Structure 1
Amino acid sequence: MTAQIQTTSTYSTPDYRYSVWGGYSGNSVRFLGKTRDSQTQIFAFGYQHKIQQYSPDRILWYTIDFIPYIHFDYPKRDENDRRVARSGFGFSPVGFSMTNNISRMFSPYLQTSGGIIYMEDNFPTDRARSLNFTFDITLGNSIYLNNHASLSFGYKFHHISNAETGKENPGLDSNFLFITISIQ
C-alpha cells in the first residue's frame, strides 16, 4: 500500500477574477518624482487572467486596471507651494502578478503594472502635461474568504510623470496602502 501526499491547495483557482480596490497615500516620497508632501487617493476596477500555472499554488496572472478616480492634494511649486487639488482617471493595460497560494490566510503576491492617467489640468505644474504615464510595484497578501471571493491588502509604490513629454517633468511618487475585494 502506497501513501500519497496531497500537495494541491484546498481551493480551486479559476482562470480569471474581477476586483475593486482603493488606496490612500498619506505622503509622497522623493525617489523618481520631485513633488513632495502629496496626499493621494485612488479607486479602481481590475481584471486578472491566468497566464501560466507553475505549480498547484504558484500562478502568473495578466492584470488590467481601469482607474475612474485618482486624486492628488499637493503643494504646487510654481505657485509658491500653494496647496492644490487635482483629479483624474486612467487605464493600466499592462500588468503582471505572481501569486503564491500557501494557505487560505497567507497568499502573498508581487505585481507590477503600467498605464496612463489623464488629469483635469496640467499636473503637477503648469508646464507639465495633463496626460501622464504611470507604473507601480505592489506587494500584497490575499485572504480567501471562500472559493469565490478574496480580500487583499498591501503596499503599492506608484509613480506618475509625463516621461519628459512636457516642458517640465517633476513627477510624483506615492506610497499606497490599499485594500482589494476580488470575485473569482
Structure 2
Amino acid sequence: MSLRLPPLYASPQTNLLCILHVRLVIVTVLISLGLVGPCGAQSADSLASGAASPSTNAVSAWAGGSFATVSLIGNIQNAHVGLLGLRYHRLLTPSSPNSPPRGPTLTYMADLVPVLLVSIPSGALPTLPLDASGTEGSSPGHRSQTLTAYGVGVRPAGLRLTYRPAERVQPFVAGSTGLALFDQSIPNTLGRSLNFMFDVGAGVRIAVTPALVLTASYRYYHLSNGFRGQINPGVDANLLQLGVTVSP
C-alpha cells in the first residue's frame, strides 16, 4: 500500500523554486548594498565621539529565540526555535581599518552553533502523514506528544552591511546560510535529521568601547530539509537575537 501525500508535498519543484528564488533575492540584495558608493564624510562630532573604526577581525557570542512563527516558506505552525552561537567576523570593505570609514562597511561572518533547539507541538501540521510515533487511529499529523529536537549547526556563509560605522549606534542588515544536524528526524521520521537553514534581518550595533560592541537584531529564520526527505514542511520563525562582540 503506497502512501499518498497531500498536494502540498506532491510537487516539490514548485516549493524548491520558491526557496531558491528567496535565497537569490537575499544574496542579490546584500551584494547590491555592498556596492553602495562611499557616503559623505562623517561629521567631526561623530569622529570625536569615541566610536572605534571597525577591526579587521572580531569574535562574538550570541543567543536567539523565536517569538512567533510565520508561513512565508515553511508550513509548521507554533514551533519554537532557540540557538546559541559563536561568530567570526572579518571586514571586507574598506580593506584597511586604520581610519574611520566614510561609508557603509561589508563584513563576512561565519557561525558555529553548538546549541540548536526546535520544538514542534503535536498536531502542528494536521495534513502531515503519520510517523512511527503516531498512535493507531490518530488523525494524520497528530503526535501523542510535542517533538523536541536538539542539534548543532554551522553557517559558513554570512554577510553584514553596517551603516554609520564610526558612530556609537550602527544600524545594519545581515544574512547567513548553513546546515543543522539534529538528534532525530524533523518533523517526524518522514523528514530528515540533516536540514538547511538561512536567516535574514536587521538590527543595531552599539559600540560600548573601541573593543566591545553589543548587538540586538531581528531575524527571519527558515529551517527545512531541502526536499531530501519524504516530506519537507519547514519551519519559519521570527527570532530576536542578542550578542556581544570583542575585537583585538
Please say whether Structure 1 and Structure 2 have the same fold, judged by a TM-score greater than 0.5. Answer: yes
Partner of 2:83: 42
> C-alpha deviations, 1:140-162, integer Å up to 9, x for none?
10000100000000101110111
- Using the alignment, how far apart are the partners of 1:46 and 1:52 within structure 2? 18
* Mapped pair 1:67 → 2:113: yes
* Mapped pair 1:103 → 2:149: no
> Superposition pairs for residues 3-152 of structure 1, below 5 Å?
6=44, 9=47, 10=50, 11-53=52-94, 55-77=101-123, 78=130, 79=134, 80-81=142-143, 82-100=145-163, 101=165, 103-104=167-168, 106-152=169-215
- Using the alignment, how far apart are the partners of 1:158 and 1:183 within structure 2? 25
How many residues are matched? 179
- Using the alignment, how far apart are the partners of 1:160 and 1:7 within structure 2? 44
1:138 deviates by 2.0
Would the aligned equivalents of 2:160 and 2:173 in 1 still touch at CA under 8 Å? yes
- Using the alignment, how far apart are the partners of 1:16 and 1:161 within structure 2? 31
- Using the alignment, how far apart are the partners of 1:183 and 1:57 within structure 2? 22
Larger Rg: 2
Could you say which structure has the higher helix fraction?
A: 2
Would the aligned equivalents of 1:8 and 1:56 in 2 still touch at CA under 8 Å? no
1:56 deviates by 2.8
> C-alpha deviations, 1:107-131, integer Å up to 9, x for none?
0111110100001100112111010
1:174 deviates by 1.3
Structure 1 gaps, min length 5: none
CA gap of 1:86–1:69, structure 2 versus 1, over 3 A, is: same
Would the aligned equivalents of 2:53 and 2:166 in 1 still touch at CA under 8 Å? no
- Using the alignment, how far apart are the partners of 2:45 and 2:108 within structure 1? 25
Would the aligned equivalents of 1:8 and 1:57 in 2 still touch at CA under 8 Å? no
- Using the alignment, how far apart are the partners of 2:210 and 2:102 within structure 1? 15
AA at the equivalent of 1:159 = H
- Using the alignment, how far apart are the partners of 2:148 and 2:229 within structure 1? 20
AA at the equivalent of 2:58 = R
- Residue identity over aligned pairs, in percent, reads 25
AA at the equivalent of 1:176 = L
Task: Please give the TM-score of this superposition, normalised by the length of structure 2.
Answer: 0.68
- Using the alignment, how far apart are the partners of 1:126 and 1:31 within structure 2? 24
- Using the alignment, how far apart are the partners of 2:221 and 2:45 within structure 1? 36
AA at the equivalent of 1:163 = G
Q: 2:240 is matched with which residue: 174, 177, 183?
A: 177
- Using the alignment, how far apart are the partners of 2:171 and 2:223 within structure 1? 25
Could you say which structure has the higher strand fraction?
A: 1
Structure 2 gaps, min length 5: 1-42, 96-100, 124-129, 135-141
- Using the alignment, how far apart are the partners of 1:44 and 1:17 within structure 2? 14
Deviates more, 1:65-74 or 1:22-31: 22-31
